[in-house]
Structure 1
Amino acid sequence: PPLIALLSGGTSAGKEEAAAALAALSFDDDNEVTIVKVGGLVPLIALLESGTPTAKREAAVTIKHLAINNENKVAIAQQAGALDTLIALLSSGTPDAKEEAAGALRNLSVKDQNRAAIMAAGAPAPLIELLGSGTPGAKEKAAAALKKLAINAQNQIAIAKAGGLPPLIALLSGGTPVAIEEAAGALANLSFDDDNEIAIAQASGLAPLIALLGTGTRVAKEMAAATIKHLAINDENKVGITAAGGLQPLISLLATGSPLAIEEAAGALANLSINDDNEEAIAKAGGLPPLIALLSNGTQAAREEAAAALRNLSINQENKVSIVELGGLPPLIALLDSGTPHAREEAAGTLANLAVNDDNEVAIVKAGGLPPLIALLGSNIRQANDEAAAALKNLALLDDNKAAIAQAGGLAPLVALLDSGSADAKIEAEAALKTLSRSADVKQQLHQLGWVPAP
């Protein structure tokens, strides 16, 4: 209390000393709580507005530390004048004070409910200005604040409209390692917006993001790969990322990156592979072996992304052959049993594509693919039902497989799917049954099950 009283009633020098003392004390977790409980916020906020330059800086340091505490995040944002004075300091303070104010806003923006208030109080413009004109530390903290604010969908649009993309992209090449990480993280969040997917590429964001995949810190690689994954949803960017040399560093990251970087790189390749030319280019760049390896040794998310990439790549005729030759069948079939629901769906979809090949129709059955595919027909994973039925439909084109599917117990669940499946599953199941019924023996078994071909 005496220190807090000095913030209001002391001389200018006394206020500076009291604010500096509180800044030092606020490093302690317990003191973060105590300073707020004993009424420290109101005089600290007043000092941000009316204190000497030194006092403003020390008050901003203190508030930055106090805002680490979750309860304080709410209390500070709700305190009258707190956000306005912090945001004003971004423009009017000394270089050090601007950095501390940006750090306080970064900490406050961790709380979801604070983000709208910070945006409404006008934070984007001065934070964006700091990306170019601030101290190295201010650039780091401003980028971190924008990264947090960009978690909210509405803010993604507002930050881009305020001119945030070019300076964030510039920071990817010219910032400190921390600033680069934060800028890449901000772009990763901003790139969730469809318009920003286009705008980031148009603002020359592809080249520095791709460069980070190879030269960045662990976090920078993760964030760059995440951004590229989002950007690759856009059809033009699918072409642009490949043309800018993005495939090779993404593929390299599958083997050398952190678990998160591997997940994001695999996701980027999954999105890029929804393009005819990229289907071929990814395979030629050596993408198939590491993607196949991920099916067995990746995290759950990496397995999902790798299976999704292979599903898209397996549309290509040459890739159908290569995936099998490179040993893709055993891990894909294993994933039908052991994967997450999404991984099972993607693995079944990949096998459905691979089965549109005479040699693969034989290989999938020999590798033990029928039992898990048939089991998926009765699962509660709706889209996996569709893909399993499609795979069996394609496998049934081979005469030997017709009998094998029947012997493996595939007829009854296909018939059942006509009643219980989704619209797509019913279509695939009906087509599979019609193909299977070309065998006289199987046709007789189907009649015993009550199946009559749809007209």
Structure 2
Amino acid sequence: MGACLSCLFGRRTRSALYEPLLQENEREAVADLLTYLENRAETNFFEGDPLRALSTLAFSDNLDLQRSAALAFAEITEKEDVREVDRETMEPIMFLLQSHDVEVQRAASAALGNLAVNTENKLLIVQMGGLEPLIRQMLSPNVEVQCNAVGCITNLATHDENKSKIARSGALVPLTKLARSKDMRVQRNATGALLNMTHSDENRQQLVNAGAIPVLVGLLNSPDTDVQYYCTTALSNIAVDALNRKKLASTETRLVQSLIGLMDSTSLKVQCQAALALRNLASDEKYQLEIVRSRGLPPLLRLLQSSFLPLILSSVACIRNISIHPLNESPIIDAGFLSPLIQLLAYEENEEIQCHAISTLRNLAASSERNKRAIVDAGAVERVRELVLNVPLSVQSEMTACVAVLALSDELKPRLLKLGICQVLLPLTNSSSVEVQGNSAAALGNLSSKGN
């Protein structure tokens, strides 16, 4: 972009055909701006004389000068550390954004996108009416204009105060359309913008109404890992809502299979988000069963045994939800999950992982003597006895609840007593947590209920 700028100024300002067309103040502004650009390291273009020179060109009736100003703004905002700017700085860029000239549009939206990296600038751009011209540019037949406009909206949508305004502005339908663009840059920007709009209930509903769900599901098979990540994460957020899960279940028959496939992606962040999306879907009984039937357990087991904390957390959270369904208890045990889950009970780096692991074991023990026995045989009770007095209260609560479930088995009660579980349950009846007290007392009660 720098080469184009110097070429533009250098050729035109020396041309006898060009200079007579300029007003005196425009000629001065061109000359001044060339000087400022030659000394750009010492120049602040966002205020004073440099800004006045740029503004003179931007507000000129001469299209070439407008192009020069737009290119200059694009280059300056790209090369310099982006700082907060005021309305005076933003006004010439906003004016250029309204142009019908493709070159001016492209450069002005690039400049605006660069400025939109700054938090305060994100707000100012929307407050000054930037959304409407950006939406028009998204509808442009020019791919470069589309790309820059969508990229700018992606940046604007990272600010919470802008999200609802963007959702109500009419931007979601063109964003959804551009998510299917053949140009990968446009596709990335559009799916990134859609993702940024999935962080509140209201905006998620607007997105669903705009027809985004089939587009996002279709793009899960994109060859681009960024697009995969944006779409997987967006669908994960959409699946937080029960009504959206019902819609997904009725219309997107390929969703679970696609997400299971993405757990084998070469990208760790895609693997992680795929497991999280399945976790959210598995809030519903239908999906709990479908994930197991679609062979989702082997990749989840692999992620569970990873050394990367986010993968462990996402997969153990998913298997916890899947384990809620009674028909999934035996398949999960038979797939080899018990030993890794028991190992995670000692995962001190993350309390949530410990909670999900023990909660899963409790779910697996819920409805079958066989499964209770398998859990005890795998060493779960010994591990709980070793850890329970020194883990956080939330983990203590889950551990004591799990023991209470295991203690319902008449066959296993003698083994539990022999393993010394009462030695840790008794002091926990004096816990500061009412839940831990209650669970410990229930476990002791269950252990003592069989008459000999």
Q: Do Structure 1 and Structure 2 share a fold, with TM-score over 0.5? A: yes
Structure 2 counterpart of 1:385: 437
1:99 and 1:134 in contact (8 A); partners too:
no
* CA-CA distance at 1:432 after TM superposition: 6.7
Q: CA separation in 1, counterparts of 2:386 and 2:170? A: 53
Distance of aligned partners of 1:77 and 1:433 in 2 relative to their CA distance in 1, 3 Å threshold: same
- Note if 1:180 corresponds to 2:228: yes
Q: Given residue 212 of structure 1, which amino acid in structure 2 is its aligned partner?
A: L
2:407 and 2:447 in contact (8 A); partners too:
no
- Note if 1:375 corresponds to 2:427: yes
Could you tell me which runs of 5 or more consecutive residues in structure 2 were left unpaired when the two chains were aligned: 1-50
- Note if 1:294 corresponds to 2:344: yes
Distance of aligned partners of 1:116 and 1:352 in 2 relative to their CA distance in 1, 3 Å threshold: same
Q: CA separation in 2, counterparts of 1:29 and 1:242? A: 52
- Note if 1:319 corresponds to 2:371: yes
Q: Given residue 353 of structure 1, which amino acid in structure 2 is its aligned partner?
A: V
- Note if 1:310 corresponds to 2:358: no
Q: Work out which of the residue numbers 137, 143, 147 in structure 2 matches 1:89.
A: 137
- Note if 1:105 corresponds to 2:156: no
Structure 2 counterpart of 1:156: 204
What is the aligned-residue RMSD (CA, Å)?
Answer: 2.5
Structure 1 counterpart of 2:101: 52
Q: Give a deviation string over 1:319-350, Cα, whole Å, max 9, x none.
A: 21122222222332344233333322221111
TM-score (norm 1): 0.81
Q: CA separation in 2, counterparts of 1:190 and 1:227? A: 9
Superposed, which structure 2 residues align to 1:135-174 within 5 Å? Answer: 135-174=183-222
Q: CA separation in 2, counterparts of 1:282 and 1:350? A: 17
Q: Give secondary structure in 1 for the equivalent of 2:139.
A: helix
Q: CA separation in 2, counterparts of 1:54 and 1:335? A: 66
Distance of aligned partners of 1:382 and 1:19 in 2 relative to their CA distance in 1, 3 Å threshold: farther
Distance of aligned partners of 1:212 and 1:17 in 2 relative to their CA distance in 1, 3 Å threshold: same
1:273 and 1:312 in contact (8 A); partners too:
yes
Distance of aligned partners of 1:435 and 1:73 in 2 relative to their CA distance in 1, 3 Å threshold: same
Structure 2 counterpart of 1:199: 247
Q: CA separation in 2, counterparts of 1:433 and 1:267? A: 30
Distance of aligned partners of 1:138 and 1:357 in 2 relative to their CA distance in 1, 3 Å threshold: same
Identity rate, percent: 27
Q: Work out which of the residue numbers 371, 390, 393 in structure 2 matches 1:341.
A: 393
Q: Work out which of the residue numbers 285, 302, 305 in structure 2 matches 1:252.
A: 302
Q: Give secondary structure in 1 for the equivalent of 2:283.
A: coil
Q: CA separation in 2, counterparts of 1:65 and 1:366? A: 67
Superposed, which structure 2 residues align to 1:62-141 within 5 Å? Answer: 62-79=111-128, 81-92=129-140, 94-141=142-189
- Note if 1:264 corresponds to 2:276: no
* CA-CA distance at 1:212 after TM superposition: 0.3
Q: Give secondary structure in 2 for the equivalent of 1:122.
A: coil
Q: CA separation in 2, counterparts of 1:376 and 1:23? A: 65
Structure 2 counterpart of 1:445: none
1:12 and 1:51 in contact (8 A); partners too:
no
Q: CA separation in 1, counterparts of 2:433 and 2:100? A: 63
Q: Give a deviation string over 1:278-320, Cα, whole Å, max 9, x none.
A: 0011111111111111112364221111111111011232221
Aligned residues: 397
Q: Give secondary structure in 2 for the equivalent of 1:92.
A: coil
1:64 and 1:103 in contact (8 A); partners too:
yes
Q: Give a deviation string over 1:356-378, Cα, whole Å, max 9, x none.
A: 23454344344443343333333
Q: Give a deviation string over 1:383-429, Cα, whole Å, max 9, x none.
A: 33332x4xxxxxxxxxxxxxxxxxxxxxxxx6xxxxxxxxxxxxx59
Q: Give secondary structure in 1 for the equivalent of 2:78.
A: coil
Distance of aligned partners of 1:309 and 1:435 in 2 relative to their CA distance in 1, 3 Å threshold: closer
| More deviation, 85-94/211-220 | 85-94
Could you tell me which runs of 5 or more consecutive residues in structure 1 were left unpaired when the two chains were aligned: 390-413, 415-427, 440-455
Structure 2 counterpart of 1:406: none
Q: Given residue 425 of structure 2, which amino acid in structure 1 is its aligned partner?
A: L
Compare the two structures and name the one with the higher helix fraction. 1
Structure 2 counterpart of 1:423: none
Q: CA separation in 2, counterparts of 1:363 and 1:181? A: 47
Structure 1 counterpart of 2:43: none
Distance of aligned partners of 1:125 and 1:304 in 2 relative to their CA distance in 1, 3 Å threshold: same
Q: CA separation in 2, counterparts of 1:59 and 1:136? A: 21
Distance of aligned partners of 1:375 and 1:70 in 2 relative to their CA distance in 1, 3 Å threshold: farther
Q: Given residue 5 of structure 1, which amino acid in structure 2 is its aligned partner?
A: T
* CA-CA distance at 1:37 after TM superposition: 2.9
Q: Give a deviation string over 1:194-236, Cα, whole Å, max 9, x none.
A: 1222333431211111100012411101111110000001011
Q: Give secondary structure in 2 for the equivalent of 1:210.
A: helix
Q: Give a deviation string over 1:153-201, Cα, whole Å, max 9, x none.
A: 1112221122111111111102411111111111111111112223334
Structure 2 counterpart of 1:21: 72
Distance of aligned partners of 1:432 and 1:215 in 2 relative to their CA distance in 1, 3 Å threshold: closer
Q: CA separation in 2, counterparts of 1:122 and 1:380? A: 53
* CA-CA distance at 1:11 after TM superposition: 2.6
TM-score (norm 2): 0.81
Distance of aligned partners of 1:348 and 1:130 in 2 relative to their CA distance in 1, 3 Å threshold: same
| More deviation, 169-178/358-367 | 358-367
Q: Give secondary structure in 2 for the equivalent of 1:150.
A: coil
1:232 and 1:268 in contact (8 A); partners too:
yes
2:345 and 2:357 in contact (8 A); partners too:
yes
* CA-CA distance at 1:102 after TM superposition: 1.6
Q: Give secondary structure in 1 for the equivalent of 2:185.
A: helix
Q: Given residue 171 of structure 1, which amino acid in structure 2 is its aligned partner?
A: L
Q: CA separation in 2, counterparts of 1:180 and 1:433? A: 50
Distance of aligned partners of 1:245 and 1:70 in 2 relative to their CA distance in 1, 3 Å threshold: same
2:405 and 2:443 in contact (8 A); partners too:
no
Q: Give secondary structure in 1 for the equivalent of 2:158.
A: coil
Q: Give a deviation string over 1:15-73, Cα, whole Å, max 9, x none.
A: 2232222222223564x226x23723222222222241121111111111111111112
